[in-house]
Chains A and B, each alone.
Chain A
Amino acid sequence: MTPKTTKRPDGRANDELREMKAKTGIVKNADGSAMFSFGNTVAIAAVYGPRKLLPQHLQNPEKGKLRCYYDLASFSVTERKKPGPSRRSSEISFVTGKALEPVIRLDNYPNTVIDVYILVLQADASTRCAGINAAAMALANAGIPMDEMVTSVSIGKMGDIIVADLTKEEEDFTIEKNGKEEKAATDIPIAVLSRSKKISLLQLDGKCTKEDVKEAVQLAKKVSSKINQVQMEALKKVK
Protein backbone atom coordinates (compact mmCIF):
# COMPACT_ATOMS: atom_id res chain seq x y z
CA MET A 1 0.00 0.00 0.00
CA THR A 2 1.30 3.42 -0.88
CA PRO A 3 1.63 5.94 1.94
CA LYS A 4 -1.20 8.51 2.15
CA THR A 5 -0.12 11.77 0.71
CA THR A 6 -2.97 14.26 1.21
CA LYS A 7 -2.64 16.73 4.09
CA ARG A 8 -5.51 18.65 5.68
CA PRO A 9 -5.29 22.39 4.94
CA ASP A 10 -5.69 23.38 8.59
CA GLY A 11 -3.20 20.80 9.79
CA ARG A 12 -5.70 18.72 11.75
CA ALA A 13 -5.15 15.03 12.29
CA ASN A 14 -7.47 12.90 10.15
CA ASP A 15 -9.70 12.01 13.07
CA GLU A 16 -9.55 15.47 14.64
CA LEU A 17 -12.71 17.54 14.87
CA ARG A 18 -12.75 21.30 14.78
CA GLU A 19 -13.23 23.04 18.12
CA MET A 20 -16.73 22.31 19.35
CA LYS A 21 -18.85 24.70 21.39
CA ALA A 22 -22.30 24.07 22.79
CA LYS A 23 -24.84 25.84 24.97
CA THR A 24 -28.44 25.27 25.97
CA GLY A 25 -31.33 27.58 26.81
CA ILE A 26 -30.74 30.22 24.15
CA VAL A 27 -34.35 30.67 23.00
CA LYS A 28 -36.37 31.55 26.06
CA ASN A 29 -39.79 31.05 24.46
CA ALA A 30 -38.98 27.49 23.39
CA ASP A 31 -39.49 24.37 25.51
CA GLY A 32 -35.87 23.51 24.83
CA SER A 33 -33.07 25.06 22.80
CA ALA A 34 -29.37 24.73 22.07
CA MET A 35 -26.47 26.00 20.01
CA PHE A 36 -23.78 23.71 18.61
CA SER A 37 -20.74 24.69 16.59
CA PHE A 38 -17.92 22.93 14.74
CA GLY A 39 -15.34 25.67 14.19
CA ASN A 40 -16.99 28.25 11.94
CA THR A 41 -20.19 26.27 11.47
CA VAL A 42 -22.79 27.46 13.96
CA ALA A 43 -26.31 26.03 14.29
CA ILE A 44 -29.07 26.76 16.75
CA ALA A 45 -32.12 24.61 17.44
CA ALA A 46 -35.36 25.27 19.27
CA VAL A 47 -37.93 22.65 20.28
CA TYR A 48 -41.62 23.31 20.87
CA GLY A 49 -43.81 20.56 22.23
CA PRO A 50 -45.16 18.04 22.61
CA ARG A 51 -48.08 20.24 21.64
CA LYS A 52 -51.45 19.69 20.08
CA LEU A 53 -51.24 18.71 16.42
CA LEU A 54 -53.62 20.71 14.28
CA PRO A 55 -55.55 20.30 12.05
CA GLN A 56 -56.99 17.33 13.85
CA HIS A 57 -56.94 14.95 10.87
CA LEU A 58 -53.14 14.90 11.09
CA GLN A 59 -53.27 13.47 14.59
CA ASN A 60 -52.19 9.91 15.21
CA PRO A 61 -53.79 8.30 18.27
CA GLU A 62 -50.93 5.79 18.49
CA LYS A 63 -47.95 8.08 18.57
CA GLY A 64 -46.78 11.63 18.34
CA LYS A 65 -45.23 13.23 15.30
CA LEU A 66 -41.77 14.73 15.01
CA ARG A 67 -41.36 17.60 12.57
CA CYS A 68 -38.00 19.14 11.71
CA TYR A 69 -37.27 22.34 9.85
CA TYR A 70 -33.72 23.11 8.78
CA ASP A 71 -32.85 26.49 7.35
CA LEU A 72 -29.78 28.51 6.48
CA ALA A 73 -29.84 32.18 7.50
CA SER A 74 -29.48 34.31 4.38
CA PHE A 75 -26.20 35.68 5.70
CA SER A 76 -24.74 32.36 6.87
CA VAL A 77 -23.12 31.73 3.50
CA THR A 78 -20.81 33.79 1.30
CA GLU A 79 -23.39 34.48 -1.42
CA ARG A 80 -26.76 35.50 0.04
CA LYS A 81 -29.21 32.65 0.31
CA LYS A 82 -32.74 33.63 -0.56
CA PRO A 83 -34.86 33.18 2.60
CA GLY A 84 -37.45 30.45 2.67
CA PRO A 85 -37.35 26.70 2.04
CA SER A 86 -35.58 25.19 -0.95
CA ARG A 87 -35.44 21.65 -2.27
CA ARG A 88 -32.13 21.25 -0.48
CA SER A 89 -33.39 22.51 2.88
CA SER A 90 -36.58 20.43 2.61
CA GLU A 91 -34.59 17.26 2.08
CA ILE A 92 -32.21 18.06 4.93
CA SER A 93 -35.18 18.78 7.21
CA PHE A 94 -36.60 15.40 6.28
CA VAL A 95 -33.44 13.36 6.87
CA THR A 96 -32.72 15.29 10.08
CA GLY A 97 -36.10 14.23 11.44
CA LYS A 98 -35.36 10.62 10.56
CA ALA A 99 -31.92 10.89 12.19
CA LEU A 100 -33.51 12.00 15.47
CA GLU A 101 -36.68 9.93 15.52
CA PRO A 102 -35.20 6.53 16.47
CA VAL A 103 -34.26 7.78 19.95
CA ILE A 104 -37.48 9.61 20.80
CA ARG A 105 -40.32 7.89 22.63
CA LEU A 106 -43.07 9.29 20.45
CA ASP A 107 -45.57 6.67 21.65
CA ASN A 108 -45.68 8.60 24.95
CA TYR A 109 -47.40 11.48 23.18
CA PRO A 110 -50.31 10.36 20.99
CA ASN A 111 -52.05 13.03 18.88
CA THR A 112 -49.28 15.54 19.52
CA VAL A 113 -46.40 17.04 17.63
CA ILE A 114 -42.86 17.94 18.59
CA ASP A 115 -41.47 20.69 16.36
CA VAL A 116 -37.73 21.14 15.93
CA TYR A 117 -36.50 24.33 14.25
CA ILE A 118 -32.87 24.47 13.17
CA LEU A 119 -31.27 27.67 11.95
CA VAL A 120 -27.70 27.78 10.68
CA LEU A 121 -26.20 31.17 11.52
CA GLN A 122 -22.78 30.60 10.00
CA ALA A 123 -21.90 27.91 7.50
CA ASP A 124 -18.53 26.28 6.89
CA ALA A 125 -19.68 22.79 5.80
CA SER A 126 -21.23 20.10 8.03
CA THR A 127 -24.24 22.33 8.72
CA ARG A 128 -26.75 19.48 8.85
CA CYS A 129 -24.48 17.64 11.30
CA ALA A 130 -24.14 20.68 13.59
CA GLY A 131 -27.91 21.09 13.27
CA ILE A 132 -28.55 17.51 14.35
CA ASN A 133 -26.20 17.88 17.32
CA ALA A 134 -27.97 21.07 18.39
CA ALA A 135 -31.40 19.53 17.83
CA ALA A 136 -30.62 16.46 19.95
CA MET A 137 -29.50 18.77 22.75
CA ALA A 138 -32.59 20.95 22.40
CA LEU A 139 -34.82 17.85 22.58
CA ALA A 140 -33.11 16.70 25.76
CA ASN A 141 -33.27 20.25 27.13
CA ALA A 142 -37.01 20.23 26.43
CA GLY A 143 -37.38 17.19 28.69
CA ILE A 144 -38.41 14.85 25.87
CA PRO A 145 -37.84 11.19 26.81
CA MET A 146 -35.03 9.82 24.65
CA ASP A 147 -33.31 6.44 24.67
CA GLU A 148 -29.97 8.06 23.99
CA MET A 149 -28.47 11.10 22.33
CA VAL A 150 -27.78 11.58 18.62
CA THR A 151 -24.39 12.79 17.45
CA SER A 152 -23.50 13.72 13.94
CA VAL A 153 -20.37 14.44 11.96
CA SER A 154 -19.48 14.80 8.37
CA ILE A 155 -16.81 12.35 7.30
CA GLY A 156 -14.96 13.05 4.10
CA LYS A 157 -12.72 11.39 1.65
CA MET A 158 -10.21 13.94 0.55
CA GLY A 159 -7.70 12.73 -2.00
CA ASP A 160 -6.57 9.46 -0.49
CA ILE A 161 -7.42 10.07 3.15
CA ILE A 162 -10.60 9.69 5.21
CA VAL A 163 -11.07 12.62 7.55
CA ALA A 164 -13.55 13.75 10.18
CA ASP A 165 -15.53 17.02 10.19
CA LEU A 166 -14.98 18.48 6.73
CA THR A 167 -14.68 22.24 6.24
CA LYS A 168 -15.91 24.03 3.12
CA GLU A 169 -12.34 24.21 1.87
CA GLU A 170 -11.92 20.46 2.27
CA GLU A 171 -15.29 19.81 0.64
CA ASP A 172 -14.01 21.70 -2.40
CA PHE A 173 -10.70 19.82 -2.48
CA THR A 174 -9.43 19.09 -5.98
CA ILE A 175 -6.48 17.30 -7.49
CA GLU A 176 -4.81 17.79 -10.81
CA LYS A 177 -5.45 15.01 -13.23
CA ASN A 178 -4.34 15.06 -16.86
CA GLY A 179 -3.77 18.79 -16.60
CA LYS A 180 -7.31 19.39 -15.27
CA GLU A 181 -8.53 20.24 -11.78
CA GLU A 182 -10.80 17.45 -10.69
CA LYS A 183 -13.05 17.28 -7.63
CA ALA A 184 -11.47 14.81 -5.23
CA ALA A 185 -13.59 15.14 -2.11
CA THR A 186 -16.50 13.03 -0.98
CA ASP A 187 -18.86 14.23 1.73
CA ILE A 188 -20.42 11.59 3.97
CA PRO A 189 -22.64 13.06 6.70
CA ILE A 190 -23.34 10.43 9.34
CA ALA A 191 -25.38 10.44 12.54
CA VAL A 192 -24.43 7.98 15.27
CA LEU A 193 -26.60 7.19 18.27
CA SER A 194 -24.55 7.93 21.36
CA ARG A 195 -24.90 4.62 23.16
CA SER A 196 -25.91 1.89 20.75
CA LYS A 197 -23.63 3.40 18.07
CA LYS A 198 -26.26 2.70 15.45
CA ILE A 199 -26.36 4.87 12.35
CA SER A 200 -29.45 7.07 11.90
CA LEU A 201 -28.24 9.29 9.07
CA LEU A 202 -26.03 8.31 6.17
CA GLN A 203 -25.66 10.32 3.02
CA LEU A 204 -22.87 10.37 0.52
CA ASP A 205 -21.96 12.32 -2.50
CA GLY A 206 -18.75 11.93 -4.39
CA LYS A 207 -16.79 8.82 -5.23
CA CYS A 208 -15.81 6.09 -2.80
CA THR A 209 -15.03 2.41 -2.55
CA LYS A 210 -16.97 0.13 -0.22
CA GLU A 211 -13.87 0.04 1.94
CA ASP A 212 -13.88 3.83 2.17
CA VAL A 213 -17.48 3.85 3.39
CA LYS A 214 -16.68 1.22 5.98
CA GLU A 215 -13.78 3.29 7.20
CA ALA A 216 -15.95 6.42 7.27
CA VAL A 217 -18.61 4.75 9.39
CA GLN A 218 -15.96 3.48 11.78
CA LEU A 219 -14.47 6.95 12.06
CA ALA A 220 -17.90 8.49 12.73
CA LYS A 221 -18.48 5.95 15.49
CA LYS A 222 -15.08 6.70 16.95
CA VAL A 223 -15.55 10.49 17.16
CA SER A 224 -19.18 10.22 18.26
CA SER A 225 -18.23 9.99 21.93
CA LYS A 226 -16.27 13.24 21.70
CA ILE A 227 -19.31 15.03 20.32
CA ASN A 228 -21.54 13.43 22.94
CA GLN A 229 -19.14 14.64 25.64
CA VAL A 230 -19.57 18.23 24.50
CA GLN A 231 -23.36 17.83 24.33
CA MET A 232 -23.47 16.32 27.83
CA GLU A 233 -21.31 18.99 29.42
CA ALA A 234 -23.41 21.78 27.96
CA LEU A 235 -26.67 20.14 29.03
CA LYS A 236 -25.40 19.72 32.57
CA LYS A 237 -24.44 23.37 32.81
CA VAL A 238 -27.84 24.40 34.11
CA LYS A 239 -28.19 28.12 34.46
Chain B
Amino acid sequence: MDKKEKKNIEKDEEINVEEKTNPEEIEQDRKIVVPGEVIESGSDFLPGEGTRREGKEIVSMRFGLLDMNDKLIKVIPLSGAYVPRPGNVVIGHVYDMTFNGWLIDIASPFNSFLSAMEVGRFVNKNDLSETLNFRDIVVAKIKDIKSRGIDLTMRERGLKRLEGGMLIRINSAKVPRVIGKAGSMVSMLKQETGTNIIVGQNGIIWIGAEDVENELLAKKAIEFIANKPFIHGLTELVKKFLEDEKKKMKITIKPIGPTTEEN
Protein backbone atom coordinates (compact mmCIF):
# COMPACT_ATOMS: atom_id res chain seq x y z
CA MET B 1 0.00 0.00 0.00
CA ASP B 2 1.45 3.35 -0.89
CA LYS B 3 1.66 6.33 1.41
CA LYS B 4 -1.26 8.23 -0.02
CA GLU B 5 -3.62 5.32 0.36
CA LYS B 6 -2.73 4.89 4.00
CA LYS B 7 -3.45 8.52 4.65
CA ASN B 8 -6.79 8.13 3.02
CA ILE B 9 -7.84 5.29 5.20
CA GLU B 10 -6.87 7.05 8.41
CA LYS B 11 -8.83 10.03 7.32
CA ASP B 12 -11.91 8.01 6.60
CA GLU B 13 -12.58 7.99 10.31
CA GLU B 14 -14.54 11.09 9.60
CA ILE B 15 -17.50 11.20 7.29
CA ASN B 16 -16.12 13.62 4.80
CA VAL B 17 -12.78 12.19 3.92
CA GLU B 18 -10.11 14.82 3.98
CA GLU B 19 -7.41 15.18 1.41
CA LYS B 20 -4.03 15.78 3.07
CA THR B 21 -2.54 17.00 -0.12
CA ASN B 22 -3.98 20.05 -1.73
CA PRO B 23 -5.68 19.09 -4.99
CA GLU B 24 -5.23 22.63 -6.20
CA GLU B 25 -1.47 22.19 -5.92
CA ILE B 26 -1.49 18.79 -7.53
CA GLU B 27 -3.32 19.95 -10.59
CA GLN B 28 -1.33 23.12 -11.00
CA ASP B 29 0.67 23.03 -14.20
CA ARG B 30 0.11 19.34 -14.54
CA LYS B 31 0.45 17.68 -17.85
CA ILE B 32 -2.35 15.54 -19.21
CA VAL B 33 -1.20 12.20 -20.57
CA VAL B 34 -2.96 9.59 -22.69
CA PRO B 35 -2.60 5.80 -22.94
CA GLY B 36 0.59 4.70 -24.65
CA GLU B 37 2.32 8.03 -24.16
CA VAL B 38 5.95 7.87 -23.00
CA ILE B 39 6.29 9.86 -19.78
CA GLU B 40 9.95 9.40 -18.84
CA SER B 41 12.97 7.59 -20.04
CA GLY B 42 15.78 6.21 -17.90
CA SER B 43 15.93 4.51 -14.55
CA ASP B 44 15.57 7.57 -12.28
CA PHE B 45 11.85 7.08 -11.92
CA LEU B 46 9.53 4.36 -10.73
CA PRO B 47 6.27 3.47 -12.43
CA GLY B 48 3.28 4.01 -10.11
CA GLU B 49 -0.45 3.69 -10.57
CA GLY B 50 -1.66 4.15 -14.12
CA THR B 51 1.78 3.60 -15.64
CA ARG B 52 4.07 0.75 -16.60
CA ARG B 53 7.75 0.27 -17.39
CA GLU B 54 8.63 -0.87 -20.86
CA GLY B 55 12.35 -1.26 -21.27
CA LYS B 56 13.83 2.10 -20.38
CA GLU B 57 10.61 3.97 -20.70
CA ILE B 58 7.72 4.66 -18.37
CA VAL B 59 4.48 4.62 -20.33
CA SER B 60 1.05 5.95 -19.36
CA MET B 61 -1.75 3.43 -19.18
CA ARG B 62 -4.60 5.83 -18.86
CA PHE B 63 -5.90 9.27 -19.58
CA GLY B 64 -5.27 11.61 -16.68
CA LEU B 65 -3.01 14.09 -14.94
CA LEU B 66 0.65 13.32 -14.58
CA ASP B 67 1.87 13.25 -10.99
CA MET B 68 5.62 12.98 -10.40
CA ASN B 69 6.55 12.84 -6.79
CA ASP B 70 9.71 11.47 -5.13
CA LYS B 71 10.64 9.74 -8.37
CA LEU B 72 7.32 7.94 -8.38
CA ILE B 73 5.28 8.55 -11.51
CA LYS B 74 1.51 8.22 -11.35
CA VAL B 75 -1.41 9.13 -13.53
CA ILE B 76 -4.33 10.65 -11.63
CA PRO B 77 -7.56 9.84 -13.42
CA LEU B 78 -9.74 12.71 -14.65
CA SER B 79 -12.66 10.49 -15.53
CA GLY B 80 -13.89 6.96 -15.34
CA ALA B 81 -16.04 4.65 -13.32
CA TYR B 82 -15.69 4.68 -9.56
CA VAL B 83 -13.09 2.22 -8.28
CA PRO B 84 -14.14 1.12 -4.79
CA ARG B 85 -11.50 0.92 -2.04
CA PRO B 86 -11.78 -0.33 1.53
CA GLY B 87 -12.48 2.55 3.88
CA ASN B 88 -14.29 4.65 1.30
CA VAL B 89 -17.44 6.40 2.44
CA VAL B 90 -20.10 5.96 -0.21
CA ILE B 91 -23.73 6.92 -0.74
CA GLY B 92 -26.19 4.55 -2.36
CA HIS B 93 -29.73 3.27 -2.40
CA VAL B 94 -31.32 -0.01 -1.41
CA TYR B 95 -32.38 -1.95 -4.49
CA ASP B 96 -32.89 -5.41 -3.08
CA MET B 97 -33.14 -7.34 0.18
CA THR B 98 -32.02 -10.80 1.13
CA PHE B 99 -32.88 -12.77 4.28
CA ASN B 100 -29.99 -11.15 6.15
CA GLY B 101 -29.25 -7.79 4.62
CA TRP B 102 -29.61 -5.29 1.80
CA LEU B 103 -28.10 -4.86 -1.63
CA ILE B 104 -27.01 -1.27 -2.12
CA ASP B 105 -26.43 0.41 -5.46
CA ILE B 106 -23.32 2.54 -4.99
CA ALA B 107 -22.81 3.37 -8.69
CA SER B 108 -20.16 0.70 -9.03
CA PRO B 109 -20.32 -2.37 -11.26
CA PHE B 110 -19.78 -4.69 -8.31
CA ASN B 111 -22.49 -5.95 -5.96
CA SER B 112 -22.48 -4.17 -2.59
CA PHE B 113 -23.98 -5.87 0.42
CA LEU B 114 -24.94 -4.37 3.77
CA SER B 115 -25.44 -7.14 6.28
CA ALA B 116 -28.12 -6.80 8.99
CA MET B 117 -25.22 -7.25 11.43
CA GLU B 118 -23.60 -4.08 10.10
CA VAL B 119 -26.23 -1.45 10.80
CA GLY B 120 -25.20 -0.98 14.43
CA ARG B 121 -28.63 -1.29 15.96
CA PHE B 122 -31.44 -3.76 16.48
CA VAL B 123 -32.85 -5.20 13.29
CA ASN B 124 -36.10 -7.14 13.13
CA LYS B 125 -34.97 -10.10 11.05
CA ASN B 126 -38.56 -10.94 10.20
CA ASP B 127 -38.97 -7.63 8.44
CA LEU B 128 -35.79 -5.98 7.28
CA SER B 129 -37.78 -3.22 5.61
CA GLU B 130 -38.52 -1.78 9.06
CA THR B 131 -34.87 -0.79 9.19
CA LEU B 132 -34.16 -0.01 5.56
CA ASN B 133 -36.67 -0.16 2.76
CA PHE B 134 -36.37 -0.25 -1.02
CA ARG B 135 -35.07 3.05 -2.43
CA ASP B 136 -33.85 4.27 0.95
CA ILE B 137 -30.63 6.23 0.71
CA VAL B 138 -27.73 5.36 2.99
CA VAL B 139 -24.28 6.64 3.68
CA ALA B 140 -22.06 3.67 4.42
CA LYS B 141 -18.44 2.65 4.45
CA ILE B 142 -16.69 -0.03 2.43
CA LYS B 143 -15.54 -2.62 4.95
CA ASP B 144 -14.11 -5.19 2.64
CA ILE B 145 -13.80 -6.02 -1.04
CA LYS B 146 -14.02 -9.69 -1.97
CA SER B 147 -14.16 -11.42 -5.29
CA ARG B 148 -17.94 -11.83 -5.00
CA GLY B 149 -18.51 -8.19 -4.14
CA ILE B 150 -18.26 -5.36 -1.66
CA ASP B 151 -19.19 -5.53 2.03
CA LEU B 152 -20.53 -2.33 3.52
CA THR B 153 -20.92 -1.24 7.11
CA MET B 154 -22.92 1.40 8.91
CA ARG B 155 -21.47 0.63 12.32
CA GLU B 156 -19.74 3.95 12.72
CA ARG B 157 -20.70 7.40 13.73
CA GLY B 158 -22.28 9.38 10.96
CA LEU B 159 -23.12 6.36 8.81
CA LYS B 160 -26.87 6.23 8.49
CA ARG B 161 -30.00 6.37 6.43
CA LEU B 162 -30.33 9.82 4.87
CA GLU B 163 -33.52 11.78 5.19
CA GLY B 164 -34.53 14.95 3.41
CA GLY B 165 -32.14 16.88 1.24
CA MET B 166 -31.17 16.02 -2.33
CA LEU B 167 -28.58 13.91 -4.08
CA ILE B 168 -26.35 14.97 -6.90
CA ARG B 169 -23.81 12.93 -8.80
CA ILE B 170 -20.42 14.00 -10.06
CA ASN B 171 -17.58 11.95 -11.51
CA SER B 172 -15.79 10.22 -8.66
CA ALA B 173 -12.46 11.50 -10.02
CA LYS B 174 -13.62 15.02 -9.10
CA VAL B 175 -14.38 14.14 -5.47
CA PRO B 176 -11.00 15.24 -4.05
CA ARG B 177 -11.57 18.76 -5.34
CA VAL B 178 -14.97 19.02 -3.73
CA ILE B 179 -13.46 17.91 -0.44
CA GLY B 180 -10.38 20.09 -0.73
CA LYS B 181 -7.24 20.11 1.34
CA ALA B 182 -8.03 18.86 4.84
CA GLY B 183 -11.72 19.21 3.98
CA SER B 184 -11.34 22.95 3.40
CA MET B 185 -13.50 23.14 0.30
CA VAL B 186 -16.44 21.23 1.68
CA SER B 187 -16.29 23.21 4.96
CA MET B 188 -16.33 26.43 3.02
CA LEU B 189 -19.26 25.24 0.92
CA LYS B 190 -21.26 24.27 4.00
CA GLN B 191 -20.54 27.62 5.62
CA GLU B 192 -21.26 29.73 2.58
CA THR B 193 -24.41 27.92 1.52
CA GLY B 194 -25.87 27.11 4.92
CA THR B 195 -26.11 23.40 4.18
CA ASN B 196 -24.91 20.07 5.40
CA ILE B 197 -22.97 18.16 2.79
CA ILE B 198 -21.89 14.54 2.78
CA VAL B 199 -19.54 13.61 -0.03
CA GLY B 200 -19.53 9.96 -1.05
CA GLN B 201 -16.28 8.91 -2.65
CA ASN B 202 -18.35 7.23 -5.32
CA GLY B 203 -19.28 10.71 -6.53
CA ILE B 204 -22.75 10.77 -5.01
CA ILE B 205 -23.19 13.79 -2.79
CA TRP B 206 -25.97 14.53 -0.33
CA ILE B 207 -26.93 18.11 0.35
CA GLY B 208 -29.37 18.96 3.10
CA ALA B 209 -30.72 22.24 4.44
CA GLU B 210 -33.88 23.60 5.91
CA ASP B 211 -34.52 25.60 2.81
CA VAL B 212 -34.31 23.89 -0.55
CA GLU B 213 -32.82 27.05 -2.07
CA ASN B 214 -29.72 26.66 0.04
CA GLU B 215 -29.41 23.14 -1.30
CA LEU B 216 -29.70 24.44 -4.83
CA LEU B 217 -26.96 26.96 -4.19
CA ALA B 218 -24.65 24.23 -2.88
CA LYS B 219 -25.58 22.00 -5.84
CA LYS B 220 -24.61 24.72 -8.28
CA ALA B 221 -21.31 25.35 -6.52
CA ILE B 222 -20.42 21.65 -6.53
CA GLU B 223 -21.28 21.34 -10.21
CA PHE B 224 -19.18 24.43 -10.85
CA ILE B 225 -16.23 22.76 -9.14
CA ALA B 226 -16.74 19.46 -10.97
CA ASN B 227 -16.99 21.10 -14.38
CA LYS B 228 -13.81 23.16 -14.15
CA PRO B 229 -11.03 21.59 -16.20
CA PHE B 230 -8.29 22.78 -13.90
CA ILE B 231 -8.58 23.98 -10.40
CA HIS B 232 -5.91 26.58 -10.19
CA GLY B 233 -7.08 29.05 -7.50
CA LEU B 234 -10.37 27.22 -7.22
CA THR B 235 -11.32 28.25 -3.69
CA GLU B 236 -11.35 31.91 -4.68
CA LEU B 237 -13.30 31.18 -7.85
CA VAL B 238 -15.91 29.25 -5.91
CA LYS B 239 -16.29 32.06 -3.36
CA LYS B 240 -16.80 34.54 -6.18
CA PHE B 241 -19.24 32.18 -7.87
CA LEU B 242 -21.26 31.82 -4.67
CA GLU B 243 -21.39 35.57 -4.12
CA ASP B 244 -22.75 36.14 -7.61
CA GLU B 245 -25.26 33.33 -7.31
CA LYS B 246 -26.50 34.55 -3.96
CA LYS B 247 -27.20 37.93 -5.48
CA LYS B 248 -28.94 36.31 -8.45
CA MET B 249 -31.02 34.00 -6.30
CA LYS B 250 -31.56 36.76 -3.72
CA ILE B 251 -30.77 34.61 -0.75
CA THR B 252 -28.89 35.36 2.41
CA ILE B 253 -27.28 32.60 4.37
CA LYS B 254 -27.89 32.05 8.02
CA PRO B 255 -24.87 30.00 8.87
CA ILE B 256 -25.90 26.79 10.54
CA GLY B 257 -23.45 25.61 13.16
CA PRO B 258 -22.15 22.10 13.29
CA THR B 259 -25.17 19.95 13.96
CA THR B 260 -25.29 17.23 16.54
CA GLU B 261 -26.17 14.58 14.02
CA GLU B 262 -23.05 15.29 12.11
CA ASN B 263 -20.38 15.57 14.75
Contacts and interface: CB of A to CB of B under 8 A. Distances in A.
Please determine if A and B sit in direct contact within the complex, based on CB atoms under 8 angstroms apart. Answer: yes
Interface of A: 31-32, 49-53, 61, 103, 105, 109-112, 140-149, 193-195, 228, 231-232, 235-236, 238-239
B81 A140 contact: no
The secondary structure that dominates the B interface is: loop
Contacts, number: 83
B110 interface: yes
Contacts of B256: none
Contacts of B62: 140, 143-146
Given A49-B81, A50-B81, A140 B35 contact: yes
B79 interface: yes
B173 interface: yes
Contacts of A194: 36
13 contacts: A31-B81, A52-B109, A52-B111, A105-B61, A110-B147, A141-B63, A143-B77, A143-B79, A144-B80, A145-B61, A147-B52, A148-B35, A195-B36
Nearest to A61: B147
Contacts of B238: none
A235 B109 contact: no
Contact of B79 (A103, A141, A195): A141
A50 B79 CA distance: 12
A50 B172 CA distance: 14
B103 to A, nearest CB: 11
B35 A103 contact: yes
A143 B59 contact: no
B229 A145 contact: no
The contact size tier of chain B is 20 to 34
Nearest to A105: B61
B80 A147 contact: no
Given A147-B36, A193-B36, 20 more contacts: A31-B80, A49-B81, A51-B81, A112-B109, A140-B35, A140-B63, A143-B64, A143-B77, A143-B79, A143-B173, A144-B80, A145-B61, A145-B62, A147-B35, A147-B59, A148-B35, A195-B36, A228-B36, A232-B34, A238-B32
Contact of B81 (A61, A143, A147): A143
A24 to B, nearest CB: 9
A143 B109 contact: no
Interface centre among B36, B52, B64, B147 (most CB of A within 10 A): B36
Nearest to B81: A50
B34 A140 contact: yes
A135 B64 CA distance: 17
A232 B36 CA distance: 10
